[in-house]
Structure 1
Amino acid sequence: MSSPAATPIETLCLLRTSALGDVSHVVPLVRTLQQHWPQTALIWIVGKLEHKLVGDIPGVEFIIFDKGKGWQGYAAVRRALGGRRFDALLHMQVALRSNLLSGLIRARRRIGYDRARSRDGHGLFINQRIPARSGEHVLDALGSFVEPLGLKQTEVRWDLPVPEAAREFAEQHLPGTVPTLLVSPCSSHRLRNWQPQRYAAAMDHAAARGWRVVLCGGPSAYEREFGDAILGHVRERPLDLIGKDTLKQLLALLARADLVLTPDSGPMHLANAMGTAVLGLHAASNPHRSGPYSERRWCVDRYDAAARRFRGKPASELRWGTKIEHEGVMDLIAVDDVLERFEAFASLRGDA
């Protein structure tokens, strides 16, 4: 029996509005579609912040969903859709807000998650499901949305556009070839964040080894406060760029860094997409599901220890994707754990 979509379809709507890391995981799917079906019209409904990351990808029409505007945000999407009907919808987000948003999209085929990964009434808004698999990285799960269309994501490619002005910003702040540790300390999930004094200890160690250390973060008051707490503990002050860069400038900074120290967060995945090594801090989340996709050998993995401490069972007995976001869970990661991974990476670079 032939594939249900052995030939290209004309119009395809993608629905994944947030968050930054997950939206970056959709980019390889877009590249797969563009490679195999260059004539297919791609329309991507994406969040307002996330649009700043991906909105300049060629060959894609973007419709912005501003969740901060409440029902007006839904109305704006409805107007932008203009009653269009699509050959297929890839409904790649199961949150209630996204399920309701999908109700505005007219599509003959509505492809969503398998039953095990569905929630908040997701099944009511779809008529096809992706293959039911466990143990997948989030990026692979999103990539599998092309399979009901008769395609297969066999290559993972980002090629996120970075304007020349953003590259100039990064070169201005990080000139030359000094080995650089970029620290992005905050996740939007605050219980995933390491202690400020532990970040400071790791940063001082890198500085003492002759590395340039850069502290990055968004413009929120919380990230500024967290950064100041780190700065209150360091012996050698790093370059402080918290709140001073745009998303595109961050991509350029990440590309110029040698190693990025961060918890499970958007910048973790953006660094990976830019080809930069990541020293990820994992206790609240499973790095095999949501760690840096391309390479996880520099990560500190205390997820199993967290499962045993807070859930009373090994990680292998938890449902795939379980978050262990408990107060103190990140304290399972010691400074020495991070320094060991840093030194292993530095040794590979050939640092004395």
Structure 2
Amino acid sequence: MKHPLPAHPEHLCVLRLSALGDVCNLVPTVRALQRQWPGVRITWIIGKGEHSLLAGLSGVEFVVYDKATGLAGMRAIWRQLRETRFDALLHMQQAVRASVLSLGLKARVRIGYDPARAKDKQHWFVQRHLAPHPRAHVLDSFMDFARLLGVQDSSLTWDLPIPEAAVGEARRLTGEAPYLLISPCSSARLRNFRNWSAEGFAAVIDHAWHQYGLKTVLTGSDTPQEREMAEQIRRLCQDEVLIDAIGATSLKGLLALIDRARVVVAPDSGPVHMANALDTPVVGLFATTNPERAGPYRWRDSVVNRYPEAVRTYLNKDPEALEWGQRVRHPDAMSLIRAEDVIARLDALLSEPRNEA
């Protein structure tokens, strides 16, 4: 017998800790739930960095988990929520850590992915599974949770809060002039291989300046890897065309920079999804991950997609026969992206007037 789903939930728990791009893709599901049940309480258990990006999201109570605190941090959350019984727990994080955390939460029904989509045995920790949805984009997989609960209106809205202090951060760096924003690096992970070349970015920066008079803002974390990439790009460009914002803003400040940019150019990383959430035009650079699954949802037509070629070249497989979501973990895969392809996408976006409404 299936565990019953709540007809009119009063209190829902969203469990999704990471990452920046994923939590951006989850927000439309939260908005869909709020449209269906305007009075519903939503408690979102979220990672520390991700919370700093989404803090202030209307109608959402955040409970922050810092993974550095390990089991002690989980116990603190269990104590905080020990008197709370949710109508449903939406277990949206496919990781052992999140599944362990879920064990200390009380809910009338626990909802997770169908076995075909579940990873790390996540489907063992839930009582109801989503309906199968082969070859789904990450955003659509999140929205499937709302659909299972009976939500009919799955239109996409975000309304991410950007405080005035963050807008001030952005303006102090850029002034009022329009600009291109480039976030050249994805997060540093083992065998991640998502970053493009400094030479490619320099060619795009040079084109934006000479063709459109746009300076380029470089953004990213103040890590040795990202600092080195910024220095490589700087050596290839004129100083006056670059604004170095590496490590210079909060995540909210980065959100404000992205919101005011004419176009964002970045590999598969948080900023492409932040741009998508703000409806800022974005050129995503994809070769090691499939943009049909993980690209900027509203701007997939503007992606430079070399994933099929990378699959054929480095995995010797047909992309259609590949397991959905499989990555190409080869250090040369991103070299398949050519500067002229990125520039062509940039030109197409800059030829369209930006809707500031």
**Category of TM-score, reference length = shorter chain:** over 0.9
Unaligned runs of 5+ residues in structure 1 are: none
* Paired amino acid for 1:289: R
Secondary structure of 2:220 counterpart: coil
**Do 2:283 and 2:304's aligned partners in 1 also have CA atoms closer than 8 Å?**
yes
Structure 1 position 261 matched with structure 2 position 273? no
Identity of aligned residues (%): 44
Q: Which residue matches 1:199?
A: 201
Instruction: Give distance in 2, aligned partners of 1:349 and 1:163.
Output: 26
Alignment of 1:112-131 (within 5 A): 112-131=112-131
| CA positional deviation for 1:102 | 1.1
Aligned counterpart for 1:229 among listed residues 227, 232, 238: 232
Secondary structure of 2:351 counterpart: helix
Alignment of 1:330-349 (within 5 A): 330-349=334-353
Secondary structure of 1:281 counterpart: strand
| CA positional deviation for 1:65 | 0.8
Range that drifts further, 67-76 or 265-274: 67-76
Q: Which residue matches 2:20?
A: 20
Secondary structure of 1:327 counterpart: coil
**Do 2:130 and 2:144's aligned partners in 1 also have CA atoms closer than 8 Å?**
yes
Structure 1 position 288 matched with structure 2 position 253? no
| CA positional deviation for 1:265 | 0.4
**Do 2:183 and 2:220's aligned partners in 1 also have CA atoms closer than 8 Å?**
yes
* Paired amino acid for 1:135: R
Q: Which residue matches 1:252?
A: 256
Aligned counterpart for 2:306 among listed residues 302, 321, 337: 302
* Paired amino acid for 2:200: R
**Do 1:182 and 1:260's aligned partners in 2 also have CA atoms closer than 8 Å?**
yes
Secondary structure of 1:154 counterpart: coil
**Aligned residue pairs: how many?**
347
Secondary structure of 1:231 counterpart: helix
TM-superposition CA deviations, 1:255-286 (whole Å, max 9, x none):
11011010010010001111101111010011
Instruction: Give distance in 2, aligned partners of 1:47 and 1:299.
Output: 28
| CA positional deviation for 1:6 | 7.1
| CA positional deviation for 1:312 | 1.1
**Do 2:5 and 2:109's aligned partners in 1 also have CA atoms closer than 8 Å?**
no
Range that drifts further, 76-85 or 291-300: 76-85
**Do 2:267 and 2:284's aligned partners in 1 also have CA atoms closer than 8 Å?**
yes
| TM-score normalised by L of structure 2 | 0.92
Secondary structure of 2:265 counterpart: strand
**Do 1:5 and 1:150's aligned partners in 2 also have CA atoms closer than 8 Å?**
no
Q: Which residue matches 1:213?
A: 216
**Do 1:29 and 1:153's aligned partners in 2 also have CA atoms closer than 8 Å?**
no
Q: Which residue matches 2:283?
A: 279
| CA positional deviation for 1:153 | 4.5
Secondary structure of 2:282 counterpart: strand
* Paired amino acid for 1:342: L
* Paired amino acid for 1:225: E
| CA positional deviation for 1:310 | 1.3
Instruction: Give distance in 2, aligned partners of 1:55 and 1:88.
Output: 23
* Paired amino acid for 2:181: L
Alpha-carbon RMSD across the aligned residues, in angstroms, is 1.8
Instruction: Give distance in 2, aligned partners of 1:73 and 1:222.
Output: 29
| CA positional deviation for 1:177 | 4.7
Instruction: Give distance in 1, aligned partners of 2:349 and 2:162.
Output: 26
* Paired amino acid for 2:67: K
| CA positional deviation for 1:5 | 4.9
| TM-score normalised by L of structure 1 | 0.94
Instruction: Give distance in 1, aligned partners of 2:249 and 2:289.
Output: 27
**Do 1:65 and 1:76's aligned partners in 2 also have CA atoms closer than 8 Å?**
no
Secondary structure of 1:161 counterpart: coil
Alignment of 1:74-223 (within 5 A): 74-178=74-178, 180-188=179-187, 189=189, 190-209=192-211, 210-223=213-226
**Do 1:183 and 1:215's aligned partners in 2 also have CA atoms closer than 8 Å?**
yes
**Do 1:144 and 1:152's aligned partners in 2 also have CA atoms closer than 8 Å?**
no
Instruction: Give distance in 2, aligned partners of 1:245 and 1:154.
Output: 33
Instruction: Give distance in 2, aligned partners of 1:36 and 1:118.
Output: 26
| CA positional deviation for 1:232 | 2.2
* Paired amino acid for 1:227: A
